[in-house]
Amino acid sequence: MKISSNILEEILRKCSKMGIFWMIAIILSGCVEPIKLSALESEGKLVVEGWITNLPGPYRIRLSRTGLYSLGYEGVNAGVLGAKVFIVDDLGKEVELKETDEMAGYYLTDRSEIKGEVGRTYKVKIVIGDKVYESKPETLLKPVEIDTAYYEFMEESVFKEKGFYVYIDFKDPENEENYYSWTWEEHYKITRCEVLEGGTGRFCCQSYCYVKERCHLCLDIMSDLYNNGNSVNHKSIVRVPFNRRDPAIAKIFQQSISKDAYIFLNYVKQQTNNAGSVFGTPPFSIPGNIFNVNDPNESVYGYFGAKGESTRYIKVIRKFADGPLSDETTPFKNPPEEPKELIWPCAPCEETEFTTLEIPSVDIK
C-alpha cells in the first residue's frame, strides 16, 4: 500500500508530538495487512495420539477434540471421555486400554497384557458412541542401537546456553531407508512413595524407587536420505542444566519409525516452528493415519504408530564444573523429612508410567 505525501506529512506532524516509537507503530500499521486466522473446523474433530514400541508398556493413547483458533492461538484440546480403545495386532488379538482417572482423555494398556514385537503389525481401534475409528496398520521396525553416549560442558555464549550437552554416535544400516526420532527421560531416586489424602503424612519407600520424567514435547527427527549406511556422530540429544551439583541420569531413546510417521512428524514440526510468526505458514490440517471406518469423508487428526526403540543411560557428573549454578528452576526432588512422631509405614514403589523399581544401569550415588 502506498502512502500519499499529504497523509505522510500529517503522520509526521502528529508523530513530532507523539515521539519516534509511535511514529514507527503508525507507519507499520499502515503497511502490514491484518492476518486473518480461521479455525480448522467449525466444530471439534477427533485427535488421536499414541505409539506402541518393543519396550514394555504401559502404552498410552490420548483422545481429544480440536480447539478453534482465536487471536492467533489454538484453543485447548478437550479430552474425550468414555471411549472404547483397543490395540489390535496382525493376528487379530485385541487388547483394551483403560481410561485413566488422573488425566482426561488418556487411555493406558496393562503392562502384563501386551508388549510390542519387532516385525508384527499394529493398529488402534476406537469406538465413540456409534462411530468406529481405526488407524492404518503399521509394522514395528527393528531398532538401531546407540553405539555410545557422552557429554560436554559448555559455558554460556551467544549461541549456547550454559549446561552439559549430551550426544550420541550410531551406525545407520546400509541399503535401507531409515527414519529416526529421539526423546529422553530424566531418572532420579525418591524416598517418598505416597502422600496421604489431604497431604498430612507421607509414606517412605520399602525399596529404591525412581521417577521417570520424559520429554513429551521433544520433536527431534531425521531421515538417512543423505547419510545412508554411514556413521552418525555427535548427534545432539539434550542439554542438562547446571542448576544442581548432584549427578543427572538421562535415559536416551532412539526410535526407528516408518516413512509415514516421519512425514507426519515433519508436518507437525513445520507448523510448530511457524507458529507465532507474521511470515509463517498459516495453520493447516496435518494429514494423519486415522479414519472413520464408516465415513471416510470425516476429518480425523493425529497418528497412531509403531516404533522400534533402543535405549542408553548416561550419568552426567556436574559437581566438578566451574562457576556458579545457573538460575534455571531446580527440580524439587523429595519433600522434607517428617518429624519422627509423624513417620508412617513404608509404602511399596509401584510400576507405573511415571515411577519404576528398575535401577538405571549406571551408578546414581
Lowest mean pLDDT among 56-60, 283-287, 316-320: 283-287
∠ Cα 215 220 221 (to 5°)? 140
Q: Are 64 and 77 in contact (CB under 8 A)?
A: yes
Q: Is pLDDT above 80 for 311?
A: yes
Mean pLDDT, range 229-239, rounded to an integer? 94
**pLDDT score of 284:** 60
- What pLDDT, on a 0 to 100 scale, did the predictor assign at position 344? 60
Does 243 have pLDDT greater than 50?
yes
Average pLDDT over residues 3-10: 46
C-alpha cell belonging to residue 100:
485413566
Query: What DSSP string describes 177-197?
Result: --EEEEEEEEEEEEEEEEE-G
Give, in order, the Cα–Cα distances in Å from 93 to each of 82, 86, 89, 258, 289: 22, 10, 6, 22, 20
**In which residue are the cell numbers 519407600 written?**
205
Question: CB–CB of 190/173 below 8 Å?
Answer: no
Tell me, what amino acid is at 132?
Answer: V
Task: With cut-offs at 50, 70 and 90, classify the pLDDT of residue 1.
Answer: very low
DSSP string, 40-83: S-SS--EEEEEEEESS----EEEEEEPPPEETTEEPPPEEPPS-
pLDDT confidence of residue 215: 81
Q: What integer is the mean pLDDT of 344-353? A: 76
- Degrees to nearest 5, angle at CA 212 with 259 and 240: 80
pLDDT at 143 > cutoff 60 = yes
Distance (Å, whole) CA 313 – CA 321: 21
DSSP 340: G
Which has the closest alpha carbon to 132: 268, 293, 18, 290?
A: 293
pLDDT digits (tens, 9 = 90+) for 156-171: 888 889 999 999 999 9
DSSP 3-state of 200: coil
Core vs surface per residue 50-73: b (16+ CB within 10 A) or e = bbbbbbebbbbbbbbbbbebeeee
| 232 has a pLDDT exceeding 60 | yes
Averaged pLDDT, 201-218 = 76
pLDDT over 90 percentage in the chain:
46
Q: Residue range 248-272: average pLDDT?
A: 92
CA 354 – CA 187 distance, rounded (Å): 10
What are 162's three cell numbers? 550454559
Give, to the nearest 10 degrees, the angle between helix 20-31 and helix 5-18.
Answer: 150
Please state the rounded mean pLDDT for residues 183-206: 73
Alpha helices in 138-187 (DSSP H): none
Q: What is the pLDDT of residue 19?
A: 41
**Most confidently modeled range among 34-38, 193-197, 361-365:** 193-197
Chain centre distance of CA 178: 21
Rounded (to 5) percent helix, strand, coil in the chain: 15, 40, 50
DSSP bridge partners of 60:
108
Burial of residue 344 (CB within 10 Å: 0-12, 13-18, 19+) is middle
* Strand stretches in 279-345, DSSP E: 290-292, 301-316
140, three cell numbers = 514395528
pLDDT in tens, 70-124: 333 344 567 899 999 999 999 999 999 999 887 789 999 998 899 999 999 999 9
Average pLDDT for residues 244-270, to the nearest whole number? 91
d(CA 101, CA 241) in angstroms, rounded, equals 33
pLDDT attached to residue 128: 96
Question: By the 8 A CB rule, do 99 and 126 touch?
Answer: no
Give the integer Cα–Cα distance in Å for 47 and 264: 13
pLDDT, residue 186, reads 85
pLDDT band, very low/low/confident/very high, at 329 (cuts 50, 70, 90): low
Check pLDDT > 90 for residue 12.
Answer: no
- The pLDDT of residue 72 is 37
Beta-carbon contacts of residue 47 (< 8 Å; ≥ 6 apart): 62, 63, 64, 65, 66, 77, 300, 301, 302
Query: What is the average pLDDT value for the chain, to the nearest integer?
Result: 79
Per residue in 15-73, pLDDT tens? Answer: 444 443 333 333 333 333 333 333 444 458 899 999 999 999 889 999 998 864 333 33
